[in-house]
Amino acid sequence: MRVVLAPMEGVLDHLMRDLLTKIGGYDLCITEFVRVVDQLISDRAFFRYCPELKNANAYGCTTEAGTPVRVQLLGQNPECMADNAAKVIELGSHGVDINFGCPSKMVNNNRGGAILLKDPENLYQIVSAIKKSVPEGAIVSAKIRLGFEDKSLAIENAQAVESAGAHELTVHARTKVEGYRPPAHWQWIAKIKQSINIPVIANGDIFNYSDAQQCRETSGCKDIMVGRGALMLPNLAQVIKQIAPVLPWDEVQKLLLDYSRCETYGDKSKYYPNRIKQWLKYLKLQYFEADALFQEIRTLKTAQAIINKL
């Protein structure tokens, strides 16, 4: 079984990837999506989303803990997506992932993410162009939802991705319109898995060991992807694999302090307070102590003031 760390825009960035993979249990990380419009993206921009590329070697880029990192691209133009996919492979990414699932209204209004699930042929053209542009052996993967407004094209979309040459497919078990509202429809992932021959990774509402087991049984998938659950329970991958118990709160507190020591974008005094408060909102769903801590720091505006409380 593989446990993959999901991309979450503005949340699961390289700092969080580094922190969580040092805990252990994750087999692969997918970056936040890099938006592709109509031109080749600069090295500098790719390094901003995926600093791990700076240290890529013959085995590709990894977090400090050695977990492979795969860059995710989002866009609608097959040729431009293909050019950027070739570049990111050249820079050292462990394959390239294609985002066909982002539910953001802004992204969808610009013909990116989940809106493309209305057009299986466009999915095929994008994946096919990327597959042809990258070296043989480079992994091409994609992530979809069950559809945009409904699930009527779920299987056709998955088959389009497979027939275009993708090596694996991640399925978030909701439509765009369903957003993140429970439940996740794992049974639909099973239907998709039965309709294609490439590996399928199940995603959606996996927050603990029991969820993971039920998801795997219902979907028929061996591998799973976690996102929000990893923020709620930092050692979720270890718990799912039964190699460690739930991390106690005092260890989580140490992680919060470790996060404060990370190199950040620009001014830590602005970056850290926003991110730590955001993380505590997830943690309080698993740890009651996180809610009490959030109440103590929610009005604090500087990194040092928050660190003093921790």
Report the alpha-carbon distance of residue 181 to residue 13 in Å, rounded: 23
Task: Name which of 70-74, 111-115, 275-279 the model is least confident about.
Answer: 111-115
Paired tokens of 85: 């996919």
Q: What is the mean pLDDT of residues 183-187?
A: 97
For 192-208, what is each residue's pLDDT tens digit? 999 999 999 999 999 99
Q: What global pTM score does this model have?
A: 0.95
Task: Name which of 36-40, 225-229, 268-272, 302-306 the model is least confident about.
Answer: 268-272
DSSP designation for 54? G
pLDDT of residue 47: 96
My answer on whether omega of the bond before 120 falls inside 30° of 0, hence cis, is no
Residue 161, classed as helix, strand or coil, is helix
Task: Name which of 58-67, 135-144, 245-254 the model is least confident about.
Answer: 58-67
For 247-259, what is each residue's pLDDT tens digit? 999 999 999 988 8
Residue 47, classed as helix, strand or coil, is helix
Q: What is the mean pLDDT of residues 71-99?
A: 97
Say if residues 186 and 215 touch (Cβ distance below 8 Å): yes
Check the CA dihedral 184-178-236-309 and report its sign.
negative
Report the alpha-carbon distance of residue 222 to residue 229 in Å, rounded: 18
DSSP string for 270-291: HHHHHHHHHHHHHHTTT-HHHH
Say if residues 219 and 201 touch (Cβ distance below 8 Å): no
Say if residues 160 and 121 touch (Cβ distance below 8 Å): yes
Task: Name which of 50-64, 151-165, 228-242, 295-309 the model is least confident about.
Answer: 295-309
Average pLDDT score over the chain = 93
Taking alpha carbons only, the member of 36, 66, 61, 64 closest to residue 50 is 61
Report the alpha-carbon distance of residue 134 to residue 166 in Å, rounded: 12
Paired tokens of 165: 């040459």
pLDDT of residue 273: 84
Q: What is the mean pLDDT of residues 69-88?
A: 97
Report the alpha-carbon distance of residue 121 to residue 99 in Å, rounded: 15
Taking alpha carbons only, the member of 128, 203, 183, 188 closest to residue 153 is 188
Report the alpha-carbon distance of residue 39 to residue 134 in Å, rounded: 17
Q: What Cα–Cα distance (Å) separates residue 56 from each residue in 34, 137, 211?
A: 18, 17, 34
pLDDT of residue 91: 97
Domains of the chain listed by start with CATH number: 3-240 (3.20.20.70), 249-309 (1.20.225.30)
For 89-99, what is each residue's pLDDT tens digit? 999 999 999 99
Q: What residues are labeled active site?
A: 102
Taking alpha carbons only, the member of 200, 137, 203 closest to residue 169 is 200
Paired tokens of 54: 């700076």
Taking alpha carbons only, the member of 280, 237, 273 closest to residue 255 is 280
With a pLDDT cut of 90, the percent of the chain lying above it is 80
pLDDT of residue 218: 98
Residue 31, classed as helix, strand or coil, is strand
24 Ramachandran zone, left/alpha/beta (phi>0; psi -120 to 50): left
pLDDT of residue 305: 86
pLDDT of residue 265: 47
pLDDT of residue 110: 64
